Amino acid sequence: MSHREPSELAREAGAKLREVLAAGPLNPKDRMAIPAQEMPVQDHVDRRGNMNEVALGYTPEQARLEAMRCLQCRNKPCVAGCPVAIDIPAFLKAVADGDPRAAIDIIRRNSLLPAVCGRVCPQESQCQEPCTVGKALKNVDKAVSIGRIERFAADMEAAAGTPDVPEVKPETGRRVAVIGSGPASITVAADVRREGHAVTVFEAFHKPGGVLLYGIPEFRLPKSIVEREIAALKAMGVVIRTNFVVGRTRKLSDLVSKDGFDAVFVGTGAGLPKFMGIPGENLVGVFSANEFLTRSNLMRAFDRARADTPICNCRKVAVLGGGNVAMDAARTAVRLGADEVHLVYRRTEAEMPARIEEVGHAKEEGVVFHTLVNAKRFLGDSYGCVRHMECLRYELGEPDNSGRRRPVEIPGSEFMMDLDTVIVAIGNESNPLIRQTTPGLGFNKWGNIVADDDGRTSLPNVFAGGDIVLGAATVILAMGQGRKAAQAINSMLAAAPKT
Partner 1 sequence: MENSNTVLFRKELAPDVYQIRVHAPLIASERRPGQFVIVQVDSDFGERVPLTIADADPAEGSITLVVQAVGKTTHRLADIPVGEGIANLLGPLGTPTHIERFGRVVCVGGGIGVAPLHPIAKAMKEAGNHVTTIIGARNQSLLIFVEEMSRISDEVIICTDDGSAGRKALVTHPLKELCETAPKPDCVVAIGPPVMMKFCAETTRPYGVHTIVSLNTIMVDGTGMCGGCRVTVGNETKFVCVDGPEFDGHKVDFDNMMQRLGAYRKHEASAHEQCHLDMEASRLEERRRADGK
Ligand X SMILES: Cc1cc2nc3c(=O)[nH]c(=O)nc-3n(C[C@H](O)[C@H](O)[C@H](O)COP(=O)(O)OP(=O)(O)OC[C@H]3O[C@@H](n4cnc5c(N)ncnc54)[C@H](O)[C@@H]3O)c2cc1C
Between residues 73 and 158, which has the closer beta carbon with respect to ligand SF4? 73
Q: What gap in Å lies between CA 362 and CA 341, rounded to an integer?
A: 10
Which H or E run contains 223? Answer: helix 223-235
Query: Which CB atom, from 82 or from 289, has the smaller least distance to ligand SF4?
Result: 82
DSSP string spanning 184-202?
HHHHHHHHHHHTT-EEEEE
Residue 397 contact partner, candidates partner 1, ligand SF4, ligand X, none, CB within 5 to 8 A by sort of partner: none
Q: Which is nearer to ligand SF4, 150 or 195 (CB)?
A: 150
450 close to 443: Cβ distance less than 8 angstroms: yes
- Helix, strand and coil in the chain, % to nearest 5: 40, 15, 45
Residue 310 interacts with partner 1 (CB under 8 A)?
A: yes
Q: Rounded to the nearest 10 degrees, what angle do helices 6-22 and 60-68 cross at?
A: 50
**299 contributes a contact to partner 1 by CB under 8 A:** yes
Question: 303, 339, 395, 418: which one contacts partner 1 (CB under 8 A)?
Answer: 303
Is 160 exposed, middle or buried, given 0-12, 13-18 or 19+ CB atoms closer than 10 A? Answer: exposed
Q: Which of 26, 73, 102, 245 binds partner 1 (CB under 8 A)?
A: 245
Binding mask 300-339 for ligand X (x = CB under 6 A): ------------------------xx--x-----------
Q: Rounded to whole angstroms, how far apart are CA atoms 150 and 132?
A: 18
* Residues composing the chain: 499
Q: Other C-beta atoms within 10 Å of 190: how many? A: 22
Query: According to CB under 8 A, which one of 35, 432, 439, 440 is a site residue for partner 1?
Result: 432
Contacts of ligand X in 51-110 (CB under 6 A): none
State how beta strands 263-266 and 386-399 pair.
unpaired
In angstroms, the CA 286 to CA 420 distance is 9
Applying CB under 8 A, which of residues 288, 324, 371, 490 lies at the interface with partner 1?
Answer: 288
Query: What whole-number distance in Å separates Cα of residue 92 and Cα of residue 261?
Result: 42
User: 286-288 and 263-266 as β-strands: parallel, antiparallel, unpaired?
Assistant: unpaired
Instruction: Kindly tell me which residue out of 6, 40, 89, 465 binds ligand SF4, with binding defined by CB under 6 A.
Output: 89
Q: Which one, of 58, 84, 265, lies nearest residue 152 by Cα?
A: 58
Q: How far is CA 467 from the centre of its chain?
A: 11
What residues contact 428, with CB distance under 8 A and at least 6 apart? Answer: 270, 271, 272, 273, 274, 290, 325, 467, 472
Among 42, 145, 268, 421, binds ligand X (CB under 6 A): 268
Phi, psi for 494 (deg, rounded to 5)? -70, -35
Q: Among residues 60, 77, 196, 273, which is the contact residue for partner 1, using CB under 8 A?
A: 273
234 binds, among ligand SF4, ligand X, partner 1, none (CB under 5 to 8 A by kind): none
In DSSP terms, 342 is beta-bridged to 318, 368
- Strands (DSSP E) contained in 296-420 are 316-320, 340-345, 368-371, 373-380, 386-399, 405-409, 415-418
How big is the site for ligand SF4, counted in residues (CB under 6 A)? Answer: 28
| 356 sits near ligand X (criterion: CB under 6 A) | no
SS3 342: strand
**Residue 72, Ramachandran bin (φ over 0: left; ψ between -120 and 50: alpha; else beta):** left
Give Cα separations from 260 to 255, 398, 439 (angstroms).
Answer: 6, 55, 19
Asked if 179 touches ligand X (CB under 6 A), the answer is yes
Those residues whose C-beta lies under 8 Å from the C-beta of residue 305, and which sit 6 or more positions away, are none
202 near ligand X, judged by CB under 6 A = yes
90 binds, among ligand X, partner 1, ligand SF4, none (CB under 5 to 8 A by kind): none
206 is an interface residue for partner 1 by CB under 8 A: yes
Residue 300: CB minimum distance to partner 1, A: 6
Binding mask 121-160 for ligand SF4 (x = CB under 6 A): x-x--xx---xxx----------x-xx--x----------
By CB under 8 A, the residues from 362 to 401 that bind partner 1 are 383-385
**Closest to ligand SF4 by CB, 128 or 294:** 128
Contact status: 297 vs ligand X (CB under 6 A): no
Q: Which stretch binds partner 1 (CB under 8 A): 24-32, 111-119, 301-309, 441-449?
A: 301-309
- Residue 114 binds partner 1, judged by CB under 8 A: no
Q: Which listed residue (70, 103, 153, 211) binds ligand X by CB under 6 A? A: 211
Q: What is the closest distance, in whole angstroms, from the C-beta atom of residue 209 to ligand X in the complex?
A: 7
Residues that bind partner 1 (CB under 8 A): 204-207, 241-245, 248-250, 271-273, 275, 277, 281-285, 287-288, 290-291, 294-295, 299-300, 303, 306-310, 312, 383-385, 431-433
Residues that bind ligand SF4 (CB under 6 A): 70-73, 76-78, 82, 84, 86, 88-89, 92, 111, 117-118, 121, 123, 126-127, 131-133, 144, 146-147, 150, 476
Residues that bind ligand X (CB under 6 A): 120-121, 179-185, 202-205, 210-211, 215-216, 245-247, 267-269, 271, 293, 324-325, 328, 355, 431, 433-434, 466-468, 473-476, 478
